[in-house]
Amino acid sequence: MCGIVGYIGKQKAAPVILEGLKRLEYRGYDSAGVATLVDGRFELAKKAGRVEGLILSTPAQRLPGTTGIGHTRWATHGGVTDANAHPHLSSDGRMALIHNGVIENYASLKKFLVGKGYTFKSETDTEVLCNLIAYHYQKEPATSEGSRFMESVRKSLRHVDGTYGIAVMCTDCPAEIIAARKGSPLILGVGDGEYMLASDVSAIISRTQNVVYLKDGEMAHLTAGNFAITTLGAEDVSPVFDTVTWRVEDAELNGYAHFMEKEIFEQPDALENSMRGRFAEDGSTAQFGGLNLTAVDFRQIDRVHLLACGSAWHSCLVAEYLIERFARVPVDVDYASEFRYRNTPLGRNTLFFTISQSGETIDTLAALREAKRKGYKVLAVSNVVGSTIAREADGGVYQHVGPEIGVASTKAFTSQLLLGAMLALYIGRMRDMSFSDGSAYVQALKGVPNLVRQTLLLAPQLKAVARRYAHFHDFLFLGRLSLFPIALEGALKLKEISYIHAEGYPAAEMKHGPIALISEQCPSVFLVPSGEMFHKVVSSMQEIKARKGPVIAIAAEGCDLPAGLADEVVRIPECHEAVLPIIATIPVQLLSYYIAAELGRDVDKPRNLAKSVTVE
């Protein structure tokens, strides 16, 4: 996934674009570049490395011109090199293009273009599209430059298989940018006498809150004083304006060392926002405004199917446990990337949910489309208003936790856990859950922000534990039932930001193989619930201890752990079983964050990762 920015207006384009690229770097940060158009020629600055490096190492800020495009890359085709950085220029020098997505038939198109005499400087699929547009342009009858430009882009995109969010400039059209999207997000910002294009709102929020979300198959034609939207088939589209509710400071560090740290500590307020207005007046159940299904529809449902990737998939495993526990409705959970090709036999009355913070994860979007193709209703849980998944679903629930900039998901993940628990309540109260049980459940949910605040007070202890354990190279994370997915999440967090190998397992499963890994060099993090599973988990801890494995216990306050069993004991507050996964998540987030910080890792932009994976 990459970040793209375009600007056309009264100010110098380069500084505006570079500022926007800095806010998009969490989408990809292998290389960056900016191109402006002035006096019929392109001014170009691009290189491997971060946006900051581009700003410092070349006169990028000083590029002339009030029309420009910029890009920050997450490599798909071609290595991380200056030549592969975007923007790309056509070999005849007429077109400059930036692209987010994958052109699947780029090899055949490249072969055709080489045959027409076009040359290539990079290994990218994007340069192929750039030359293709130049090819169609030189073939297009010279009626009026603008429409000739537009038609050459249109014709080129009709030959493309794959996904794209693009912005392109032409030397013959000095104050124009053409944009188009298919499978990759693209937003148009309408400012005061200026227009911006961006992959998401964080790049334009400082200049305007007035946006138009382009839909798949749409194109935008920006000029100095106007814009028009059409379909790839050249039909006019009336723009639908939206107002972004995020504020600039939501996408700023505000004194924290990293966005991940800020977003961990934002969770009490973020979870408050996720719940706001979502409890029924009688206080015994949840309510959602956007499900677009009646209670009667929900009564017909006899199965729920959850689709997601990564951390969002972990949240589905918790939702599965809670919906089956409290609503007595069977649940299936699939990796979105697997569901699409598994061809699972499905019942008639299954309700699908996709869970996706970004709302742009291509595997989850493809799974949504597959379920809809089979005639099922699909509801989306997402954090980005107007995202592709949110718009293609039949309804859903926005998370409302504000922009999550850190690549490692934290507040969005606990919000997904919270909303999963609320859905379990909502469906349960349509079935056998009593008024009093529902009311108690609601009170437990309302108490989550304060319980999270209380648990965040453990940060200094987790920081000290992190210092003692940051040098290990292998970890096991172990939990049972609704805490097993939190063990998976803890392992993922540690892997993705500290680059330390970690695995999550059901605690009892550890003796069926992973126990072979145990030594003094392989710590185990146990999530220890009170109640019936307590003694079972203690037995697993003893098996580890007997083999000299270091044990870190994250245990509910009421647990009476045998003395000396754990090398570290972190106490989390007792709570209702529906919210225990949320509370247990806080220490594993803090542990992974402090270990990564201790190791000096780039916590917000870990190597090889991107915030939302819009390539399959």
Query: CB count, 10 Å around CB of 481?
Result: 18
- Structure tokens, 557: 């306050």
Nearer to ligand AGP, 487 or 613 (CB): 613
Tell whether omega for the bond before 460 is within 30 degrees of 0, i.e. cis.
no
Give the C-alpha separation, 217 to 231, whole Å.
6
Binds ligand AGP by CB under 6 A, chosen from 128, 304, 309, 570: 309
- Structure tokens, 375: 């005639």
The Cα angle at residue 395 between residues 240 and 422, in degrees rounded to 5: 130
Q: Given the residues 2, 170, 316, 575, select the one marked as catalytic.
A: 2
Which of 244, 246, 250 lies closest to 263, judged by CA? 250
Residue type, 500: I
In the complex, least distance from residue 265 CB atom to ligand AGP, rounded to whole angstroms: 17
- Rule CB under 6 A: say whether 387 interacts with ligand AGP: no
Nearer to ligand AGP, 271 or 444 (CB): 271
Judge whether 575 counts as a catalytic residue. Answer: no
Binds ligand AGP by CB under 6 A, chosen from 113, 168, 408, 424: 408
Give the C-alpha separation, 487 to 491, whole Å.
6
Give the C-alpha separation, 186 to 220, whole Å.
10
Query: CB count, 10 Å around CB of 44?
Result: 18
Nearer to ligand AGP, 285 or 415 (CB): 415
Judge whether 2 counts as a catalytic residue. Answer: yes
Which of 79, 81, 71 lies closest to 35, judged by CA? 71
Q: Which of residues 262-291 bind ligand AGP (CB under 6 A)?
A: none
Using the contact rule CB under 6 A, the part of the chain among 107-115, 167-175, 320-328, 402-410 near ligand AGP is 402-410
- Rule CB under 6 A: say whether 310 interacts with ligand AGP: yes
Tell me the residue number closest to ligand AGP, measured at CB: 310
What order of strands is seen across the sheet that includes strand 331-335? 331-335, 303-308, 350-356, 378-382, 395-398
Alpha-carbon torsion 128, 131, 137, 138, what sign? negative
Helix extents (H) in 251-346: 259-265, 267-275, 295-300, 310-326, 336-342
- Structure tokens, 144: 């009026």
- Rule CB under 6 A: say whether 407 interacts with ligand AGP: yes
Nearer to ligand AGP, 312 or 554 (CB): 312
- Rule CB under 6 A: say whether 186 interacts with ligand AGP: no
- Structure tokens, 500: 């330390």
- Rule CB under 6 A: say whether 592 interacts with ligand AGP: no
In the complex, least distance from residue 496 CB atom to ligand AGP, rounded to whole angstroms: 6
Torsion-angle region of residue 42: left (phi > 0), alpha (psi -120 to 50) or beta? beta
Task: Check if the beta carbon of residue 275 is closer than 8 Å to that of residue 450.
Answer: no
State the residue for tokens 């390539």: 615
Q: Given the residues 22, 377, 493, 611, select the one marked as catalytic.
A: 611
The phi, psi pair for 477, rounded to 5°, reads -115, 130
- Structure tokens, 71: 């890009």
Nearer to ligand AGP, 163 or 357 (CB): 357
Using the contact rule CB under 6 A, the part of the chain among 5-13, 237-245, 308-316, 515-523 near ligand AGP is 308-316
Q: Which of residues 356-385 bind ligand AGP (CB under 6 A)?
A: 356-358, 361, 364
- Rule CB under 6 A: say whether 597 interacts with ligand AGP: no
Helix (H) or strand (E) holding 554: strand 551-556
In the complex, least distance from residue 516 CB atom to ligand AGP, rounded to whole angstroms: 27
- Rule CB under 6 A: say whether 573 interacts with ligand AGP: no
Give the C-alpha separation, 197 to 177, whole Å.
9
Which of 577, 69, 84, 49 lies closest to 324, judged by CA? 577
In the complex, least distance from residue 584 CB atom to ligand AGP, rounded to whole angstroms: 16
Mutual angle of helices 448-456 and 580-598, in 10-degree steps: 30
Nearer to ligand AGP, 310 or 550 (CB): 310
Nearer to ligand AGP, 45 or 610 (CB): 610
- Rule CB under 6 A: say whether 311 interacts with ligand AGP: yes
- Rule CB under 6 A: say whether 414 interacts with ligand AGP: no
- Structure tokens, 100: 């987010």
Query: How are the residues of the chain apportioned to helix, strand and coil, as percentages rounded to the nearest 5?
Result: 40, 25, 40
- Rule CB under 6 A: say whether 419 interacts with ligand AGP: no
Using CB under 6 A as the binding criterion, the count of chain residues that bind ligand AGP stands at: 15
In the complex, least distance from residue 541 CB atom to ligand AGP, rounded to whole angstroms: 27
Measure CA of the first residue to CA of the last residue in the chain; give whole Å.
10
Q: How far is CA 586 from the centre of its chain?
A: 19
- Rule CB under 6 A: say whether 199 interacts with ligand AGP: no
Nearer to ligand AGP, 371 or 613 (CB): 613
- Rule CB under 6 A: say whether 318 interacts with ligand AGP: no
In the complex, least distance from residue 187 CB atom to ligand AGP, rounded to whole angstroms: 16
Helix extents (H) in 515-615: 534-545, 580-598
Binds ligand AGP by CB under 6 A, chosen from 163, 409, 498, 540: 409
Q: Which of residues 470-509 bind ligand AGP (CB under 6 A)?
A: 496
Query: CB count, 10 Å around CB of 95?
Result: 30
Using the contact rule CB under 6 A, the part of the chain among 29-37, 277-285, 286-294, 405-413 near ligand AGP is 405-413
Nearer to ligand AGP, 69 or 419 (CB): 419
Nearer to ligand AGP, 382 or 524 (CB): 382
Q: Which of residues 24-83 bind ligand AGP (CB under 6 A)?
A: none
- Rule CB under 6 A: say whether 591 interacts with ligand AGP: no
In the complex, least distance from residue 255 CB atom to ligand AGP, rounded to whole angstroms: 23
The phi, psi pair for 506, rounded to 5°, reads -65, 135
In the complex, least distance from residue 118 CB atom to ligand AGP, rounded to whole angstroms: 36
In the complex, least distance from residue 383 CB atom to ligand AGP, rounded to whole angstroms: 8
Residues in the chain: 616
- Rule CB under 6 A: say whether 595 interacts with ligand AGP: no
In the complex, least distance from residue 363 CB atom to ligand AGP, rounded to whole angstroms: 8
The residues annotated with a catalytic role in the active site are: 2, 611
Binding positions for ligand AGP, rule: CB under 6 A: 309-312, 356-358, 361, 364, 407-409, 496, 612-613
